[in-house]
Structure 1
Amino acid sequence: MGACGVGLAAAASHGGDTLLLGSASMMCLAHAPVLLALYLGHQQIRTATLAGLILGLGTIVFAGDLVARHYLGSRLFPFAAPLGGNLMILGWLAIAIGAFLRAEDRR
């Protein structure tokens, strides 16, 4: 995902649509280290696997829709970007819940 983010940033800076490709790049680059951290910390955070799946899927759908709009001129499917965005939000909430559950376990 990080490599895709770098590639999309390069495409945006070399004549691509900076709004679409730049946004897709930003989401990929922002979530790649989070997904890596969730993988490395999955034994300490109860919701890490679920959060990673939701966050990864959301990022792929969101960025994929923006890339499809740029290169194909059409969306992946209706409301793909909003669906991907909502999945990313749910992924972050799952991370927060996992952190809260972890804090509760220490009491």
Structure 2
Amino acid sequence: MSGPSPALALIVLAAIMGAGGVILAAASAHQADASRLGPASSMLLFHASAVLATVALSERAIVNAQLAIAAAWGFVVAATLFATDLTLRQYAGHSLFPLAAPTGGTLLILSWLLLAVAAAWPRRSP
């Protein structure tokens, strides 16, 4: 028996990202000087939605599925890097690793560009 499909795994991760984004938004609203948590929350919430939309586009063969799934994985990894780094800075006083947030941001840009290529690239017949 094989494991979950990439699409199902991405949906689960998007849901976890969404939950994390709501948790960080609540923490940001209720804690003094939690300025880093707002951007972390936004990155998770926004890109959780982007992952779900990208999977849907892929499943409907509107975009090149392989490239779109790669872009969705990029969204998950990048948004997680970005949000984790900001959250650690807020609570632990240190970063995940040097340049973690900019690395996540750069990967997000590349993932969005990959999604554009997935839309422009010829799709395989279903």
Give me the TM-score of the superposition, normalised by structure 1. 0.89
Deviates more, 1:86-95 or 1:31-40: 31-40
Q: Distance in 2 between matches of 1:77 and 1:51?
A: 23
User: What is the aligned partner in structure 2 of residue 34 from structure 1?
Assistant: 50
Q: Which runs of 5+ in 2 are unaligned?
A: 1-16
Aligned-pair RMSD on alpha carbons?
1.6
Shift of 1:16: 4.7
Give me the TM-score of the superposition, normalised by structure 2. 0.77
Shift of 1:101: 1.3
Deviates more, 1:44-53 or 1:74-83: 44-53
Paired-residue identity, % = 43
Q: Secondary structure, in 3 states, of the residue corresponding to 2:121?
A: helix
Paired letter, 1:81: A
2:79 pairs, out of 56, 59, 63, with 59
User: What is the aligned partner in structure 2 of residue 2 from structure 1?
Assistant: 18
Q: Give the paired residue count.
A: 104
Q: Distance in 2 between matches of 1:17 and 1:80?
A: 22
Q: Is 1:24 paired with 2:44? A: no
Could you report, residue by residue, the CA deviation over 1:55-82 in whole angstroms, capped at 9, with x for unpaired residues? 1110000010000101111000000000
Give the conservation status (yes or no) of the 8 Å contact 2:54–2:68.
yes
Q: Is 1:79 paired with 2:96? A: no
Q: Which runs of 4+ in 1 moved over 6 A?
A: none
Give the conservation status (yes or no) of the 8 Å contact 1:55–1:90.
no
Give the conservation status (yes or no) of the 8 Å contact 2:34–2:90.
no
1:12 pairs, out of 19, 23, 28, with 28
Q: Distance in 2 between matches of 1:99 and 1:16?
A: 43
